Amino acid sequence: MKVANNWKDYELLEMKNGMKKERWGEYVLVRPDPQIIWTSPSNFNDYDAIYHRSNKGGGHWEYKRKLKDNWQVRYKDLTFNIKPMGFKHTGLFPEQAVNWDYMIEKIRNANRSIKVLNLFAYTGGATVACLYAGASVCHVDSSKGMVAWAKENVISSNLQDRPVRYIVDDVVKFVEREIRRGNKYDAIVMDPPSYGRGTNGEVWDIEKDLYNLVSLCSKLLSDKPLFFIINSYTSSLSSSILKTILKMIIKEKGTITDDEIALPLKSSDITLPCGVYARWESND
């Protein structure tokens, strides 16, 4: 298990009764987490906002004190804008710092220009990390709002002059067009949701569509690919399934690994599993 234990602006403070209490910079938030199945007779206290799920789906935030509309947290030299969203999220998955560190090191050690394709790129955590490392990035997401948020994160990290292309589009259709154009990338990273819809209502189902997408993406790899990373938060997909997909599709010589990623509980040796990944990487 890889643990994101280098944060200073984020902390997992407590977790019980299906909820987690976290410090995001200057604010403490309480949010649901389906992985937390252990119980406790005590409730949370000393927080600024809590997210309540609705039995009918969705939910709402309850604020104990007024929060800024958005605020920033830093991870090493990277800066991200945090905003409480309608479905419990904050715009950042802090456990992904495990992958940011990996990508930064891999790109910097390549000693050549690296082009990265970031698919289902959300608010751009991987985009910011790869730009910081010196790569050029093509950032693709079907949500116009998430792409705008990614631009904010790039600017906040003072990386706005780095080579980045923002694309609002259905991921599969974009990849198919890139194949026709003959474009190539040295590294590909994707964070596919379990379910989703593209810009024109295209339906995405990870269990039905992931293998085909990875197959298509393999046609975009350059002659000297650096890495290919698949992240997943879908409980039905283990990291070994993602690893198997890469083994079946990526023909270049390299190493394929898989693992869980997690967040550490403050002042404890306990961790909270937050997802899985598999990655192919060049041995050069």
pLDDT band at 204 (very low <50, low <70, confident <90, very high): confident
pLDDT at 4 over 90: yes
Contacts of 149 (CB under 8 A, 6+ apart): 81, 83, 91, 123, 124
Does residue 183 have a pLDDT over 90? Answer: yes
Which tokens in the block code for residue 140?
């693709």
Radius of gyration of the chain from its Cα atoms, rounded to whole angstroms: 19
pLDDT at 201: 79
At 36 the pLDDT is 95
Beta-sheet pairing, 49-53 with 27-32 = parallel
Segment 223-230 shows an average pLDDT of 98
243-279 pLDDT, tens digit each:
999 999 998 899 999 999 999 999 999 999 999 999 9
pLDDT tens across 109-168, in order?
999 999 999 999 999 999 999 999 999 999 999 999 999 999 999 999 999 999 999 999
Confidence of residue 235 (pLDDT cuts 50, 70, 90): confident
Judge whether 75 and 157 are in contact, CB under 8 Å.
no
Above 80 in pLDDT, residue 234? no
* Range 2-68 has CATH code 2.60.40.1180: yes
Band (202; pLDDT cuts 50, 70, 90):
confident
Residues 6 or more apart whose CB falls under 8 angstroms from that of 45 comprise: none
CATH architecture of 94-281: 3-Layer(aba) Sandwich (3.40)
Looking at the predicted structure, is the pLDDT value of residue 284 above 90?
no
State what percent of residues in the chain have pLDDT above 90: 87
What is the chain's mean pLDDT, rounded?
95
Domain ranges of the chain: 2-68, 94-281
- Cα separation, 21 vs 176, whole angstroms: 42
Mean pLDDT for the stretch of residues 8-21: 97
The pLDDT value recorded for residue 195 is: 82
Alpha-carbon span 253 to 73, nearest angstrom: 38
Residue 254 near residue 283, CB atoms below 8 Å? yes
CA 227 to mean position of chain CA atoms: 16
- On whether the CB atoms of residues 185 and 158 are closer than 8 A, the answer is no
Query: Is the pLDDT confidence value at 104 over 80?
Result: yes
pLDDT in tens, 26-73: 999 999 999 999 999 998 999 999 999 887 778 999 999 999 999 999
For residue 194, the model assigns a pLDDT of: 87
